[in-house]
Amino acid sequence: MTLAVPADVISRLKAVLGEGGWSQDPERLAPKLVEWRDRWSGTTPLLALPRSTAQVAAVVGICAESGTAITPQGGNTGLVGGQIPDGEILLSLERMRAVREVGVANDVLVAEAGLTLAEAHDAAAAVGRRFPLGLASEGSATLGGLVSTNAGGVAVLRYGTMRQLVLGLEAVLPNGEVWNGLKHLRKDNTGYDLKQLLIGAEGTLGVVTAAALKLFPVLVSRAVAFAGVASPAAAVTLLARAKEETGGAVESFELIGRLGIELALRHIPGSREPLESRPPWYVLIEVASGEPGAAEAGLERLLEGGFEAGLVLDASIAQTGEQAKAFWALRENQSAAQKVEGAAWKHDISVPVSRIPEFLETAGKALTAKWPGVRIDAFGHVGDGNIHYDVLSAPGGDPAAHTALREAAALVVHDIVASLGGSISAEHGLGTMKTAEALAYKSPVEVAALRAVRAALDPKRIMNPRVLF
């Protein structure tokens, strides 16, 4: 493998891609070479823009033969830098966005990897179905990226991550061969599962070119509320009650600390205080049911019972769709509000749900003892044990000085996560950001097995070579 790509390889790639299928125009390349928060920027000798699986195969084939490295890119919304090239060929799937099939008999949507999540939602809705994965980047994030990062989002509690939502894949393997695994099967027990290997592989085991996704019925009854609670422990107890009270109809159960609400109110235009009592912790709960009125009734029962049990301090149920959207905007704008506030150490961690309170307490004490004045903005998916544990500098602190301590802080947080049986990357993957660090938390036995799989499929390590083990 070499990053200085020979001129004849570039010429061959251009030839197979044809007119409009590649670019070296700095202006065209610029937005694809920088991550949206400006955390990573990169270079590429060529942006490849295939419009078919056959063209992807031709590109990968030439790269495999010549030992030329490739970085696949979807919507460039990844949060760990894996989509930004550093001299590799940049392979964008943006011209491959066809919906190949959508139907209710198999409840399946088959679409190309460049389709955005929002477009997939629309395609499912057009046949009266729903693809339930939801995340704030849905307008840009693509199916290829979602598959390759095993994306999660706000409805994992009920529907799982992409691992549970993908029925089949089509991919170009690192030797340039096309694997057609676009099955529509809910049961297929025929040995190793290649699609599961590709899900979450972050572009290291091939290029995902299309996916077959599971569709679900549209649920007619939906209710959203903000509940104020005294502590994360109360939130965890309330979650267990919510599952029981609604018969498993809880779609989302998101925790936000008071600081997160304050940041959104300060920096996001149009934000409004959700609970005038201003409790220390907030839970955003969404319940959905196929039975008319059932979600609203279940949520009301839950909140009433929660008040009586002393778990819920205050609550507000959205009365209109607009109010529900406004509640969700407070949650979805957490990162945007932080960005305006200044530099943050960000951690995307998970622990067993029952250990969330212990994690928050232990990590909070450790960080504030070491760096007095830092502000902890913890929010996330309680039902998945997944907390976005973000730490801002003391008010008025120097952003550069805060950023310089990011790795030292990550070590403190991630050691606590590991001691609680957790993961240092719950949903964003490892990318170039966390790959080296993750090695320290995996056993040598596991790393050796993972490396053997990768070497078998990609002996020249051409696919996203700086990412994963």
Ligand X SMILES: Cc1cc2nc3c(=O)[nH]c(=O)nc-3n(C[C@H](O)[C@H](O)[C@H](O)COP(=O)(O)OP(=O)(O)OC[C@H]3O[C@@H](n4cnc5c(N)ncnc54)[C@H](O)[C@@H]3O)c2cc1C
Catalog residues that contact ligand X under the rule CB under 6 A.
36, 71-79, 82-83, 93, 113, 135-137, 140-142, 144-146, 148-149, 151-153, 202-203, 207-208, 335, 427-428, 431, 464, 467
To ligand X, the closest distance from the beta carbon of 5 in angstroms equals: 18
> Among residues 12 and 434, whose Cβ is nearest to ligand X?
434
CB of 114 to ligand X, least distance (A): 7
Taking the least distance from each CB to ligand X, the nearer of 199 and 412 is 199
Q: Which one, of 342, 332, 324, 323, lies nearest residue 394 by Cα?
A: 342
Judge whether 48 and 91 are in contact, CB under 8 Å: yes
> Least distance to ligand X from the beta carbon of 113, Å?
4
Question: To the nearest whole angstrom, how small is the minimum distance from the Cβ of residue 35 to ligand X?
Answer: 8
Rounded to whole angstroms, how far apart are CA atoms 347 and 406?
10
- ∠ CA 239-309-232, nearest 5°, is 40
Which one, 207 or 312, has the nearer CB to ligand X? 207
Q: 393 or 464: whose CB is closer to ligand X?
A: 464
Q: What are phi and psi of 158, to 5 degrees?
A: -100, -35
Residue 381: C-alpha distances to residues 91, 348, 364, 393 (Å): 32, 11, 18, 24
Structure tokens at 458: 């990609």
What is the amino acid identity at position 209?
A: T
Q: From the CB of 463, what's the least distance to ligand X, in Å?
A: 8
Which residues 6+ apart lie within 8 Å of 452 measured at CB? none
Nearer to ligand X, 22 or 371 (CB): 22
Regarding beta strands 108-112 and 207-214, do their DSSP bridges make them parallel or antiparallel, or are they unpaired?
Answer: antiparallel
Q: How far apart (Å, rounded) are the C-alpha atoms in residues 224 and 251? A: 10
SS3 113: coil
Tell me how far CA of residue 13 lies from CA of 172, 188, 231, in angstroms: 16, 37, 57
Give min distance, CB of 28 to ligand X, in A.
16
Instruction: Give the residue with the Cβ less far from ligand X, 71 or 393.
Output: 71
We find the least distance from the C-beta atom of residue 24 to ligand X, in angstroms, to be: 20
Phi, psi (deg, nearest 5) at residue 459: -60, -30
Give the residue with the Cβ less far from ligand X, 288 or 294: 288
